[in-house]
Amino acid sequence: MTLLLAVKSSGGNWSPEAWAKRFRARLPDRTIAVAGIDSFDAASVRYVGAWKPEPGLIASLPNLRVVFNLGAGVDALLGDTSLPRHVPIVRVVDADLTNRMTEYVVWHVLDQHRQGAALRSAQSRGAWIAPDQWSADKVRVGLMGLGEIARDAGDVLVRLGFQVSGWSRSPKLIKDVRCHHGLDGLDAFLGTTDILVVLLPLTADTRHMIDGRLLRRLARDGRLGKPVLINAGRGGLQVEADILACLDDGTLGHAVLDVFESEPLPPSSPLWRHPRVTITPHNAADSDPETISGYVVEQLRAFERGETLRNVVDLDRGY
């Protein structure tokens, strides 16, 4: 029995060797092979640990039982049109990953609310200027997507005192969060949002959803003056030219972007140089090989005991 690691190397925590080391330590009785490095017998592969695998690789494994996606978002994996539909795909739902995402959301919501940019600018000029301060309950945060990550971030934002609302595909009832759903619920959601936090998966329905038309429906009467966009979901959700146009015509006050249509963000992108754009390099939350290998091995062992896999992706919904 082989567990094949098909991890596209992109530095940091996405080093195939780092993942292999953790899986070999946790599964000393199994063969762990790394695609592109180790030779392996395709017929012996029962499990794949995948992050942006080479298209076609998974379809070439005749006895595959489960694909473990090594992150939360499965858009890259599902982009492989040869993927077999009968093999379940398990995605990551993990307290450590969720916590890191919540840190990212809360960090940037607080930076906007407490006017971090104005304070940094004053300091750079040696100026003792205290900007106007208001309480958190004057600021309306709208969570686009109300999944594992958004619900956790929402809990913390509610505790801090923000007015929190959310938008999802299906109806939800979440304590202290005003919930909207479906396209019919979008106007009410956007129209009462000062800080839009995008935590949607990238699917056929959500691609390019964050465009100028949508951004112009955000609240115009908020305490921050102009609405703010924070996207930590996926770059394919946004239309980058529209975000720039909305920053320049006053529709948006600021954009915090962790994800981009093309990653790494090309040096030529004007987003790099825009004074009201904050860029982070798709590291809102790193997938930690130590923690996530533990999650995968726990699920693999449960599966072999005949138990039901958790967090299986719905291929029709695309998330």
Contacted entry of ligand OXD, ligand NDP, none for residue 263, CB cut-off 5 to 8 Å set by kind: none
**Residue 282 is among the residues annotated as catalytic for this protein:** yes
* CB closer to ligand NDP out of 51 and 303: 51
Examine residue 194 and tell whether it contacts ligand NDP (CB under 6 A). Answer: no
C-beta of 318: minimal distance to ligand NDP in Å?
A: 8
Whose Cβ is closer to ligand NDP: residue 73's or residue 294's? 73
Cα 249 to Cα 264: distance, rounded to the nearest angstrom: 27
Q: Which is catalytic among the residues 22, 151, 180, 234?
A: 234
Chain residue at closest Cβ approach to ligand OXD: 71
Using an 8 Å Cβ cutoff, are 283 and 256 in contact? no
CB of 140 to ligand NDP, least distance (A): 19
CA distance 78 to 316: 11
Contact call for residue 218 and ligand OXD (CB under 6 A)? no
Strand ordering across the sheet containing 89-90: 31-34, 2-7, 45-51, 66-69, 89-90
Interatomic CA distance for residues 250 and 227, integer angstroms: 9
Identify the sign of the CA torsion 137, 139, 143, 149.
negative
Q: Are the C-beta atoms of 244 and 279 separated by less than 8 Å?
A: no
Do the beta carbons of residue 222 and residue 140 sit within 8 Å?
yes
- Interface residue with ligand NDP among 23, 50, 258, 277 (CB under 6 A) is 258
205 binds, among ligand NDP, ligand OXD, none (CB under 5 to 8 A by kind): ligand NDP
Q: What share of the chain is helix, strand, coil (3-state, %, to 5)?
A: 35, 20, 45
The nearest distance, CB 72 to ligand NDP, in angstroms, is 4
The one catalytic residue among 46, 108, 140, 282: 282
Distant-in-sequence, close-in-space partners of 209: CB < 8 Å, separation ≥ 6:
200, 237
Q: Which one, 2 or 293, has the nearer CB to ligand NDP?
A: 293
Point out which residues bind ligand NDP (CB under 6 A). Answer: 71-73, 97, 101, 145-150, 168-170, 199-203, 205-206, 232-234, 258-259, 282, 284-285, 319
Active-site residues, by number, are: 234, 282
